[in-house]
Amino acid sequence: MKIVVLDGGTLNPGDLTWEGLEALGDTVIYDRTPPELVIERSRGAEVVLVNKVVIDRETMEQLPELKFICVLATGYNVIDTAAAKEKGILVANIPTYGTQSVAQMMMAHVLNLAQHVGYHADTVRAGRWSSSDDWCYWDFPMVELHGLTMGVVGFGRIGRNSAAVAKSFGMKILAFDEFVQDPGDPEVEMVDFRTLLQRSDVVTFHTPLTPETEGMLNAETLKLMKKTAFVINTSRGPVIDSQALADALNNDELGGAGLDVLDVEPPPADHPLLTAKNCYVTPHISWATRSARARLMQTAVDNVAGYINRKPMNIVNK
């Protein structure tokens, strides 16, 4: 059986091993694959693994041997799952590998906005403290998180873990998830999206990208937020209208933003959020701790093994 990994370079830049997957079949691994080479490289494969490579209906129609697609991520919007189901192609994802790592990055962005650790460390390195007339200085308001309210948009595994981390700092928790009625925690209050925006000091997104969530934070809904509030996004870039968020930040209608994802990745050099006021963007790395990637790799191997043994797991297009 032929197995092809079309874009495995980010999962394994060299510190992990593909041996588990290679033991399951004739495996070919590409670090990255441009769109024009997807069909050529996938031809003859029964199993294809992708991260951000798009597999649409047209592509599937040219790959008659394809029977199983494993997405090397939790989100699977790069796959036309409806077309795959029609053609009898199973699609699996990796649902739980990065829960702790993503929550950790979420809090790193919150803490950076609250105290600007990196900024102030850079000024010290540049010699400013050594030449200061005072024994301390700060260029931004220092924000204490204890007693503030965090609004969690999307209350699945990562959202719940993020809430637990925030609670450890003494924050109150609101949550919105159209599929969750009972948070399973008496200290978490479930509210509608607009109420969450109105009452939260920090709003963090942990929701999948769907037609309903795309652009859910936009020019209209941003107006509901406190002018001092922070926006954190470690889910999917398109859930936020980038230009609307940039405008709110630049017009001092929002306190700040910490973003690990954008609507276009990699972003163009003129992307509005790259230069927005008090906006900190990291290059989609919340998932990338070695521990999380090792779990992802093992689950991918398990997914392929499950398919081979006719016990498929983590299927998203049943």
Integer Cα distance of 315 and 91 in angstroms: 6
Integer Cα distance of 190 and 167 in angstroms: 15
Q: Which residues pair with 176 in a beta bridge?
A: 153
CB 259 within 8 A of CB 265: no
Phi, psi dihedrals of residue 310, rounded to the nearest 5°: 60, 30
- The side-by-side arrangement of strands in the sheet containing 256-259 is 188-190, 172-176, 149-153, 202-205, 230-233, 256-259, 279-281
- DSSP symbol at 267: P
Integer Cα distance of 318 and 314 in angstroms: 10
Write out the catalytic residue numbers. Answer: 236, 265, 284
CB 154 within 8 A of CB 206: yes
Three-state secondary structure call for residue 151: strand
Integer Cα distance of 127 and 37 in angstroms: 51
Question: What's the residue count for the chain?
Answer: 318
Phi, psi dihedrals of residue 111, rounded to the nearest 5°: -65, -35
73-106 burial code (b ≥16 CB/10 A, e <16): bbbbebbbbebbeeeebbbbbbbbbbbbbbbbbb
